[in-house]
Amino acid sequence: MALSAALTPEGDRFAVELVNEGDEPVRFSTATMLGSAAFELRDDGGRPVPLGPPPMPPSDLAAGMVELAPGAATTLTFGRAELLPDRPPPGRHRLRFAADAPALEDAWSGRIESPWVELRP
């Protein structure tokens, strides 16, 4: 299994492209990849900075099921306001997508992380 993630800030939202870089199809759930629960924010010193309140997980984790063929991608989008309702404190910050796909029958589970991106105020 070779899922990769790329995070792109796009104005008032963030786009996360998940790509299956493996040779086999991969099936996983995005149901828990929600809002602030799916990201990490660090200040210039590498210290964690709190994000907005985490959303309630859905009752049906299979509802967010995605299957990607080899080389295929899907994009998740997140509003900047849901992650950073009060904007980060002054200074330089970096953000990354860091989410867990839940363990469900016949589906891949594990952590998917993007490289860090610098946030511009």
Is domain 3-116 classified as CATH 3.30.1180.20? no
**Those residues with Cβ within 8 angstroms of residue 31's Cβ, 6 or more apart along the chain or in another chain:** 57, 58, 60, 61, 62, 63, 64, 65, 102
Inter-CA distances, 48 with 14, 42, 79, 90, 111, Å: 19, 4, 20, 14, 18
Cα 107 to Cα 109: distance, rounded to the nearest angstrom: 6
Residue 69 reports pLDDT greater than 70: yes
Share of the chain above pLDDT 90, in %: 61
3-state helix, strand, coil in the chain (%, to 5): 10, 45, 45
Q: What is the mean pLDDT of residues 35-39?
A: 92
Q: What is the mean pLDDT of residues 45-65?
A: 86
Which of 13-22, 46-55, 69-78 bottoms out in mean pLDDT, i.e. has the lowest? 46-55
**SS3 assignment, position 56:** coil
